[in-house]
């Protein structure tokens, strides 16, 4: 496929992803109140467990509306995950043989649970992050959390965990598409571990080792698991190619 066709395909997939997120955001609009209450619970608990005043502050006239829009979009990305993960696979799939395209369900069957697992793990980390960060408030002081900054913080945390857990499946897809061989992933394992450690330090909102380990350790394990799965698929494909070449000769 020529470069122009690739770019056109990429544009079309992005449009489809945007439509899916918009539909998910529409559903998220009606889920705003229970979701925001759930996100606010750790803040309320932090205020109850300390002498400091900790509360979410809506500073501007339109901040509450803007907050609801952002939460809706955030939920739209999460709810539409199966759709945009499929679009990602569909963009890679043209590089696969017709017999390999049947792995679509396998890709989605692995990517969706991993994304959900990442979101679930972020949900476990989130209260701890709030407790640690608000714990720096001096005794008798007040901590007015800006609503906009809180939403940015939350989106960054949840999406970082979700997308990080999906990346190993993308590795397998690229290997099966013949873009990157498994031995290339394996040769770069030291760089991968270092990048994962840096990413865990940057993407997790708290500086403690435990929170970074929540993201880093599973990612390292999934990285090597992806290499193993990629290698199995390549061996099967190489054996088939060798057999076809032998029959052709």
Per-residue pLDDT of the chain (249 residues; tens, 9 = 90+): 566 776 788 888 899 999 999 999 999 999 988 988 888 888 777 777 766 667 777 877 787 888 888 889 999 999 999 898 888 878 776 655 555 556 677 778 888 888 998 898 888 888 877 777 777 666 666 677 778 787 888 888 888 888 888 888 888 877 776 778 888 888 888 888 888 888 777 766 666 677 777 778 888 888 898 888 888 877 777 777 777 667 665
**End-to-end C-alpha distance for the chain, whole angstroms:** 28
Give Cβ neighbours of residue 219 (< 8 Å, ≥ 6 apart): 164, 165, 167, 168, 196, 199, 200
Q: How far is CA 29 from the centre of its chain?
A: 21
């Amino acid at each position: 496929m020529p470069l122009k066709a690739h770019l056109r395909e990429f544009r079309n997939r992005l449009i489809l992803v945007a439509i899916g997120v918009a539909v998910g955001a529409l559903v998220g609009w009606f889920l705003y109140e229970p979701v925001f209450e759930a996100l606010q619970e750790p803040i309320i608990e932090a205020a109850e467990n300390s002498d400091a005043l900790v509360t979410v502050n809506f500073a501007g006239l339109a901040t509450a509306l803007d907050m609801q829009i952002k939460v809706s979009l955030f939920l739209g990305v999460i709810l539409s995950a199966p759709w945009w993960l499929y679009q990602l696979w569909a963009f890679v799939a043209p590089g696969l043989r017709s017999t390999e395209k049947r792995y679509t369900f396998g890709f989605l069957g692995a990517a969706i649970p991993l994304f959900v697992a990442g979101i679930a793990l972020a949900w476990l980390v989130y209260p701890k992050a709030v407790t640690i960060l608000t714990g720096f408030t001096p005794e008798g002081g007040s901590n007015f959390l800006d609503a906009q900054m809180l939403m940015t913080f939350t989106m960054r945390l949840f999406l970082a965990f979700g997308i990080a857990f999906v990346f190993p499946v993308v590795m397998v897809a690229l290997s099966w598409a013949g873009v990157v061989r498994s031995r290339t992933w394996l040769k770069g394992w030291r760089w991968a571990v270092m990048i994962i450690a840096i990413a865990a330090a940057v993407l997790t909102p708290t500086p403690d080792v435990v929170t970074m380990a929540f993201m880093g350790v599973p990612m390292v394990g999934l990285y090597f698991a992806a290499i193993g799965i990629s290698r199995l698929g390549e061996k099967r494909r190489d054996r088939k190619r060798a057999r076809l070449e032998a029959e052709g000769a």
